[in-house]
Each structure stands twice: as structure tokens, then as C-alpha cells.
Structure 1
């Protein structure tokens, strides 16, 4: 892999901060809808299960665009790709803060799909070109922790802002931040590299296909769990602000797991076994959540910590595998393909669980179906480990 000169020491902190925020901002809507869910349901006069449709537009578009996002990033360069990413975040949140009614908001969320599609290819390519090999695994974990930083912010800050400004006012606060980051990305990443011819479509090899399938399952689990978490907690008697803190805890545990588990995976001979183990822990955690009731809400805090410490780390480990193992394909394009599968899971997870909850009458019974999805993810991870052991791993 061709690597551009390493980042100068004076710019290293700025690049890493930009990487974290580039992952955080496109995912903020998911956690904002989750933490402000009870208020959205009340103010928009919608059924609680309808919250899942907020993610269908953005992650559905992200899944489709991700198939070619790698080629687009190769052509634009990381500088303009990141500027486009933050600009689309600003436009989405501006529309969300101003458009009336539930059905007018849904198309606005689709705009965020562009930012979500660009996030992993742009940040992974920046790491591949600007970060020394011995630091790559840690920096991948660091930038992936930005997704959970979004959850921490949404759970701890947005409910408090919404009490004073309303949920629309809370959304509006994101717009100037995203615009500042768009301008900062032009300065921080330096001059764009010389124009490159975009590569053709990536041949879907077996190991890439298996990793995509694993990440689709993980996307279903994470999105369905966190979207309905506050509603489930409020149903057990928690206040909305306390339920928002569950999302913040999920984010904090996820940040910790990605910072610790990604470098650990980079030192293992086979990271796919780590993926399988973390998914098993996630299954146990969700099973614990299903045992919570009005007299044992402590179990819910324990379950949220478990999912945050396990399933959340798997996406960061997968991205580290793509950067380190050339057999998956080119970094930007392979990242886009895996992101497409991950976002497809995010698009269908909340909607499907919401429909199951509507038919069964409870979120708990719908969450039970997630255990079967996790079992499939474990099997797929073990198949990936076996395939890589036969074909070998070529690291960079």
C-alpha cells in the first residue's frame, strides 16, 4: 500500500481529533433520536415504534452510497471528502430543526446518508496514508470511538438542552459545530493529493463477504438495541433524563472498548475469534436486559455496559482488519463495502424490531429476536477465522 508522508508532530493531535469527530457527527442523529425519543413521540404524536423509521432513510441511503463511496473518496481525496461529510451533517440537522411534522422529517434524514457513507472510507484512507504502521490499530480504535462519543453527547447533553430549548433547539445546536468542522477539515488535512483515477468496482472475495455479513448482523443489534433503549427504560419507570444517561453510559463503555479492544485485536494472530467472543458477551448482556423489571432496573445498567463493552468494539476491529490485511482489498473501497453492510443492518434493525414490538405488544419480546441474529454473527465470525487461517493474512 502506498503511504503518504507521516503527519508532522504538530498536526498529529489535530488529525486525530478530526478523525474522531468525523465518525461522531454522522452518527449523532441515531443517538439523538434515541435519547430524545420520548419527547419526539409526544410532540410529533407518533407511535413509539415509529422511531425506528428515522434511521431507515439515513442508513438506507448510506448503505447504497457506501458501495461507491470508496471510489468517490479516492477521487476527491480525504480533504474534500471530509468537508462534504461535515457539510451534509450541518444541512441535515438544520432541516430537522425547522421542518414541521413527522413525514417531512423522514426525507431530511436521508441526506445524512452521504456523511455516513463517507465516514469510514475517508478516515481509513487518512489513517493508511498519514499514520505510522505501529500506531494504526490504536488510531483506528480512537477514531471509531467517535461513534460512541456521539452517544455520550446525545445521552448526557441533548436531553438537558431539550428541556430548555425543545428537541428542535437541541438539534439546531449541532449546525454551527458541523459548519466549523467543515472549514477546519480543509485546513487540517492539508493540500489534497494529486488526482487519481477511481478504481473499478471491487471484486467481492469470500473473506470480505463474510466480514460484511458479520457487520450487517452487528448493525442490526446495535441500532435496534440503542434506538428503543430509553423507551424500554421509561416503560420500567425511569425518568427521561435517567434513560438518556443509559445512552451516555452505552457511549462511554463503547469508547473504552474500542480504545482497548482494537489494539488488542491488532496483536492477535486472528481477530475473528475476538469478534466471536465479543458477540457472545453481547448476547449474554441482552439476555440480562430482558430480565429487568420495575424492581430490578440495575440489571439494565449492567446490560447496557455489557453491550457497550462488547458489540460496539467489533466494528472498530473490523476496520482495523481492513487496513492491516491486504487480502480484503483496497482500503477505501473495502471500507465502503463493509460500511454498506453495517449501515444496511442499521437501516433494517430498528424498523424490524419496531414492527415486532407493535405486533407482540412489547419491546422486550422484540429484543429477544436479536439473540438469534447474534448467534448467526458468531457462526459467521468463526467461518471467517477458518477461511483466513487457510488463506493466510498479509499485513501492512
Structure 2
């Protein structure tokens, strides 16, 4: 006899918006640095490679803390986790606002990492406990779009405020937004007592082993063994994350330095990706809700992302600004949706009691990719004084992502033949 949670009545629109904001709060730091990159480089006298190291520190910190925080998410209340997300980001932004040296900015970056690392585990756990099963994939799509909503918000707010009030004013404005969202979360995030009351366990008979039907790769849910598909997802998250974050960080600077965009217009290019990313994440979540195979969607995402890289290469080669917008659009349409597919796949493959740990493992892969991508691309830019080599690196990461997705798809096919 095992127990299956009954969905809570607390799955309100307000809760969904807070989950979206929780996903978007952490990235405010790195998106703010990215879209204000030309100003920060000039103000601190650093290189493009040093700028990439700032974001690398953010995600290295997130990767190191993600598994521990993922396990912690299974033990502490959702409200406590919201405090980590919103206040952690606010403190990092305040520190960055008054950072008059590069090293202090790196320290702020390290502080912001854990706030991002726990966000997936926190929001996934709230959804799996408070949302009816048939709506969970849709909620995943909406809350994951919070990252792109943050990209949109940062692309429009930070450059404009930074030009008027400097980086200090822009960073303090972002910190204030995080504090206000934290206070708002008190109203909508269920307390532990409320979750316990609205999720009274109902006994149901289940076989001792439950086989997962989606992209099944030895995905037998037991107490001791994590489904193998979780590791495939972690590798895909790492490879796609390398290209995703390299693009997020350097797209505005690429547009400013190689296509002569203004600082504000460079931020708008990032915002375009964010706008399209919000829509695309909802679209990918609908595909998952309709029962699509994650591996097949990830193959499509990888192919589209490769075409986006080709657009950026063409923009630099032929000085065609229109290709920057094409590349930004393809970036938003494709690889920005990968995490939606992966997280929805995790909810299918992992029992609720282990979703925090599985999300932490996936986050470790994703944040490792997020850390490596900007570091490598920035280093290549410093070495070659061009973004061409960096874009080629991004393209290779997407090719590798597609290869792993094909391996997952083919292995699923072999498992189906055996059964």
C-alpha cells in the first residue's frame, strides 16, 4: 500500500504568477549584467572575457549548491525556499550596485548562484503537491517562462535605468522588485499546514515498481535508484545550457560591438529573445501536455538552435542587422524552451518524494553548462577579438545536445521492442 497525493485547492492564478516570478528573480542578476555589459566594461575597465567570468561564477556557485539545495527543497517549507530565492537575489543585487571593483562584483555573483539553484526544485515541488496532474505540464511551461520574462524585463529596464541613474540605480531597482515579490509570495504560497490539510493522503494500491512510459530508459521508480532518464536530461541540460547562456550573456555585446547597435537597442535584442521565449515555452509545454516524447522535442529544439547560430554568424560576416533579429528569434523559439521539456519530463519520470533531488541533479547539469558557456565564449572573444569562434562553439554545443537527444530517442525505441 502506498499513498498518492490529492491535488490541493490552492492551485490559484496568484500562485502560478509567484512561481513564474520565482523562476525569474534569480536570473535578474546575470541578465542585468549582460544587457548593461558595455557600460560595466567601460566603468570597471574589464575585458569581454572577464565579463563572462562574472556569469560563470554565478552558475558555478549554482552548480555546486544545486544538489544540496535540491535535497533541501524536499525537507523545508516552500515559503522558506521563496525567501532564499527572492532575498538572496536582492542581497546580491545590492552588493553589485555598490561594487566599485571587479572582485566585489564576482563576490555578488557567487551569492546570487544559490538563489537560482533552488528555484527549479522549489517550483517543481510546489506544482507536484498543489496542482492537479492533468494541469502540471501547463504550469511547468508557464513558470519556466519566468526566466524569459526576466530576460524581457531586464532587457528593457536595466539599460534605460543605467543610462539615467548608472549601474547602481539599475541594480537597486532590481533588488527592490525582488523584495516586493517576496512579500507578495506570503499571500499565495501555501503554508506547510495548509498544504498538509489540502493534500490529505489517500491510500491507493500500486504495484511495487511503476514503469515510466515516456522516453523510458530503465526508468523504474524505486527508493534507491534514480531513473536513468534523469541523467540523460542532466547531460542535455548541460549541453543546451552552454549555448543558451553564452548567447544570453554575449548577444547584447555582440550587437553593440560588431553591428554598431546602441546600448538600449542591444538590450532590446535580448528582450526580443525573452518575449519569444515566453511564448515558445508555453507552446513546448502544450506539446508535453499533449503527450509528446521529450526526446523528439529536444531533437527539434537542437536543430532550430543551430540555425539560430548560423544567423548570428551570417550577421557578423555580412554585416546584416536583420540576421541578428532572426537569430534572436530562433534562440527564443528553440533552446529557451529546452528546460520546459526537461522539467515536464522529470515530473513524468520521477516520484513526488524524489522530485527535489532529481531537479537538483538536473540543475547541476544545467548550471554547469551555464557556467562553461560564457567562460569559453568570453575567452575566445578575448583571444581572437571576434565573436566568430564563440558562435562556432555555441553551434557545436547544440550539435552535441542533438546527438544525446537522438541517443535517448533510439534507446527508448529499443526498450519498446524488448517489451
With the length of structure 1 as denominator, give the TM-score of the two structures. Answer: 0.92
Alignment gaps of 5+ in structure 1: 195-200
Structure with higher Rg: it is: 2
Pair 1:251 & 2:274 matched: yes
Aligned equivalent of 2:288: 265
**Contact 1:97 1:172 survives alignment (8 Å):** yes
Pair 1:231 & 2:233 matched: no
Aligned equivalent of 2:402: 378
Aligned equivalent of 2:327: 303
Pair 1:104 & 2:127 matched: no
**Contact 1:142 1:259 survives alignment (8 Å):** yes
Pair 1:206 & 2:208 matched: no
| Alpha-carbon distance change, 96 to 243 in structure 1, aligned in 2, over 3 angstroms | same
Shift of 1:86: 0.8
Q: Secondary structure at the match of 2:5?
A: coil
Q: Distance in 2 between matches of 1:249 and 1:182?
A: 27
| Alpha-carbon distance change, 282 to 126 in structure 1, aligned in 2, over 3 angstroms | same
CA-atom RMSD in angstroms: 2.0
Question: Which of 219, 231, 235 in structure 1 is aligned with 2:241?
Answer: 219
Count of residues in Structure 1 that have an aligned counterpart in Structure 2: 385
Q: Distance in 1 between matches of 2:225 and 2:59?
A: 23
Q: Secondary structure at the match of 1:292?
A: helix
**Contact 1:6 1:129 survives alignment (8 Å):** yes
Q: Distance in 2 between matches of 1:268 and 1:152?
A: 29
**Contact 1:122 1:332 survives alignment (8 Å):** yes
**Could you give the per-residue CA deviations for residues 334-373 of structure 1, whole angstroms, max 9, x where no partner exists?**
1111011001111111011111122222112221122111
Q: Distance in 1 between matches of 2:107 and 2:156?
A: 27
Q: Distance in 1 between matches of 2:387 and 2:117?
A: 29
Alignment of 1:127-146 (within 5 A): 127-146=127-146
Q: Secondary structure at the match of 1:243?
A: helix
**Contact 1:360 1:366 survives alignment (8 Å):** no
Alignment gaps of 5+ in structure 2: 197-222
Shift of 1:107: 1.2
Q: Secondary structure at the match of 2:26?
A: helix
Aligned equivalent of 2:355: 331
Q: Distance in 1 between matches of 2:186 and 2:72?
A: 17
Shift of 1:35: 0.7
Pair 1:282 & 2:308 matched: no
Q: Distance in 2 between matches of 1:164 and 1:20?
A: 29
| Alpha-carbon distance change, 372 to 213 in structure 1, aligned in 2, over 3 angstroms | same
Q: Distance in 2 between matches of 1:230 and 1:219?
A: 18
| Alpha-carbon distance change, 307 to 153 in structure 1, aligned in 2, over 3 angstroms | same
